[in-house]
Structure 1
């Protein structure tokens, strides 16, 4: 019968039956199957995409006159908190709350906990008196923690602010200083920085080589060379200084003094502009570094301008590009000897010129400081820019000489 209906009537019938729910739908399907006769259940099941069990249930309801009430909510396993563990969620929350923190970004209401599922399970036994055998599986406990809004997350470092309030003013001052002295034959602008220590040994540096190179499968070596570099922005000359000790304020000052002394044999220099990051050994609050720069200005009769780049903007320091070239130059080689390190440094080129490479064999004392009462006197010799004094300092030689000639004793 159903097969004989036109497609239009069949679609109307199917659509109408589908709008019925529960018992009403089953009884309607049972009536159609009964009217159909032999094979009616099979034909109805195929046409309306239901099981024959559904039609049989509808036939029972049709004959008995008693509709069967569906209890979908009773199907499946009962939730543990609604069964034999009614206080489980409250106890989990009491245990985890003390070990959780809110979302630091405040973008969600999620709580992050450091406790693992196994630790929560153990504490339920120890603190709340549960029997381990009575508790649900760890997977279920994990689900319950998520339902309560707790999420396991690694402890992360606080993300730094990428731009401080003074950043724009610092850059404006840098640009103004560079433009003011650009083209001045007696002014020299140096960019300097300290590179990460170079580990010596047969270790891979992640680069590529045109010849087969085999590196050790670990890099547990304890031999290092530290590297300090100076880039002269007026002639693109690079000075690289390696040392087995740490790069200290005194080493930095000695290298600056040695380079200016060498430069003065070729040209007049009355102004030195230094660009650098505000690193721990060369920032304008590092007392030993400032002491050395003041003494340098007085000794050589040179005006020194310390113009630092703002935090998180070290990529603008020109010497950083020299480091990139050097790393690209030697990252496919095995720097397994001190001589190999120095040789690769000498063979690199910057602006088609090789750098000057030296190995500093002196060991510099670390942690040297100037006493506060002495530093207070030194501070009177320098001029710090208003609002950005930490990043811009001028040292005038006549001010330094006047104080030094008065017999100021330094540590």
Structure 2
């Protein structure tokens, strides 16, 4: 849009207003202005001169004026009449498309899992350079149009394929769904637990941006030897109430660390929210401190059940499926946003920023600092097998992922 029009034809306010209009409304607005401007005989302005000053064609102004006088626009809420507008030049030059196909063919790769999915290892600028070398001087705009006509658009790979096929994967997901529905129907607390990746404390760069009045600088290397310690963020998410409980540890991610966090959250929060509950449903993955096969984990869970005096219904997600655990996308993704943009300078700084986490759906996060040190090598009690027989009841089907831990009364 040209801005050389005198203010009596198009004022700065008119130009600002036009920038908010679509093509049809802009055509009508200019036609109205042109009709008024053409009446300025004293300046010797004709309709043709006005259109030139406005930077548009006489044909456009005449169409706009005719639509206004007749009250008949493009119709059906359209901006242009069907078939109107500048025609694409690509159908007139099929050799362009053929040239692009020949250029990208040697650089095309695909997925062995899906023969219909392919991608190319060339950038648009490289394709333009190859076209120029064979005599086709084609702009980036038209190269993108050609690629689009071939079904090629810029996309990102996303993590979706499991590392390997897991037997009974679908059956476990169906069981998880039914357990959640039954627990919710009778008012049992359902928590989702996991440990987020460890974070280094200190002036280290983090993703994201922050509001500031000058350049922000951090260390040029993320070496742990220059850190002021690390935090072990463990999360507990109340699925029903949409409330998160983050514990920031300073030691190791062990099953004892996890059980201590659950015990504290139960006593300080969940017991009051679910006064009649005698069973706590726990959703978790099956590795690390939540391992479904390690004996030390079950030993600590039995101790936890004895300490709290309630039953623990353990439900593990199948291998390679931890991303479906609710806490991953309901808590951890939001905590990451709160921590991004500025370094985690110290433990209290990390806790304060995590506590500020919220969402439009009303998520609340309570944060606690656990300064206890945890051993990573602890022995299994001699009475483990006897206690296991008394306290743990495995489900008849998929018992390795579903079992009930009872207090040893």
Q: How many residues align?
A: 240
1:273 alignment counterpart: 281
CA distance in 1, matches of 2:355, 2:388: 40
TM-score normalised by L of structure 1: 0.55
How far did residue 390 of structure 1 move?
1.8
2:168 alignment counterpart: 166
Residue 330 to residue 161, structure 1, CA distance change in 2 (3 Å): closer
CA distance in 2, matches of 1:339, 1:258: 19
How far did residue 224 of structure 1 move?
1.0
Q: Residues 18-70 of structure 1: CA distance to partner in whole angstroms, max 9, x if unpaired?
A: xxxxxxxxxxxxxxxxxxxxxxxxxxxxxxxxxxxxxxxxxxxxxxxxxxxxx
Residue 329 to residue 300, structure 1, CA distance change in 2 (3 Å): closer
User: Which is further off, 187-196 or 335-344?
Assistant: 335-344
How far did residue 385 of structure 1 move?
2.2
Pairwise mapping of residues 376-395 of structure 1 onto structure 2 (< 5 A)?
376-381=385-390, 382-395=392-405
CA distance in 2, matches of 1:244, 1:258: 17
Residue 190 to residue 160, structure 1, CA distance change in 2 (3 Å): closer
Q: Residues 278-312 of structure 1: CA distance to partner in whole angstroms, max 9, x if unpaired?
A: 12222232323212322333443322110011111
TM-score normalised by L of structure 2: 0.55
How far did residue 387 of structure 1 move?
4.5
Residue 378 to residue 324, structure 1, CA distance change in 2 (3 Å): same
How far did residue 318 of structure 1 move?
0.7
Residue 161 to residue 216, structure 1, CA distance change in 2 (3 Å): closer
Q: Residues 124-171 of structure 1: CA distance to partner in whole angstroms, max 9, x if unpaired?
A: xxxxxxxxxxxxxxxxxxxxxxxxxxxxxxxxxxx9743301211211
2:367 alignment counterpart: 357
Pairwise mapping of residues 142-181 of structure 1 onto structure 2 (< 5 A)?
161-181=163-183
CA distance in 1, matches of 2:397, 2:267: 33
How far did residue 228 of structure 1 move?
0.5
1:302 alignment counterpart: 310
Does the Cα contact within 8 Å between 1:238 and 1:356 map onto a contact in 2? yes
Match of 2:319 among 299, 311, 314: 311
Q: SS where residue 197 of structure 2 aligns?
A: strand
1:264 alignment counterpart: 271
Match of 1:328 among 319, 330, 337: 337
Q: Residues 149-206 of structure 1: CA distance to partner in whole angstroms, max 9, x if unpaired?
A: xxxxxxxxxx974330121121121111111111322x11010100101111211112
CA distance in 1, matches of 2:257, 2:238: 18
Does the Cα contact within 8 Å between 1:284 and 1:393 map onto a contact in 2? no
Does the Cα contact within 8 Å between 2:194 and 2:327 map onto a contact in 1? yes
1:232 alignment counterpart: 238
How far did residue 269 of structure 1 move?
1.8
CA distance in 2, matches of 1:339, 1:395: 35
2:258 alignment counterpart: 252
CA distance in 1, matches of 2:338, 2:265: 25
Structure with larger Rg: 1
CA distance in 2, matches of 1:217, 1:299: 47
Unaligned runs of 5+ in 2: 1-111, 113-160
Does the Cα contact within 8 Å between 2:231 and 2:248 map onto a contact in 1? yes
Match of 2:220 among 217, 234, 251: 217
How far did residue 339 of structure 1 move?
2.4
Q: SS where residue 334 of structure 1 aligns?
A: coil
Pairwise mapping of residues 4-403 of structure 1 onto structure 2 (< 5 A)?
161-185=163-187, 187-211=188-212, 212-220=215-223, 221-222=226-227, 223-262=229-268, 263-266=270-273, 267-321=275-329, 322-350=331-359, 351-371=361-381, 373-381=382-390, 382-397=392-407, 400-401=408-409
Does the Cα contact within 8 Å between 2:281 and 2:313 map onto a contact in 1? yes
Q: Residues 238-261 of structure 1: CA distance to partner in whole angstroms, max 9, x if unpaired?
A: 111111101211111111112112
2:96 alignment counterpart: none
CA distance in 2, matches of 1:189, 1:393: 15
Does the Cα contact within 8 Å between 1:163 and 1:311 map onto a contact in 2? no
Q: Residues 211-247 of structure 1: CA distance to partner in whole angstroms, max 9, x if unpaired?
A: 2422221111342111111001121111111111012
User: Which is further off, 250-259 or 353-362?
Assistant: 353-362
1:87 alignment counterpart: none
1:26 alignment counterpart: none
Residue 204 to residue 286, structure 1, CA distance change in 2 (3 Å): same
Residue 374 to residue 268, structure 1, CA distance change in 2 (3 Å): same
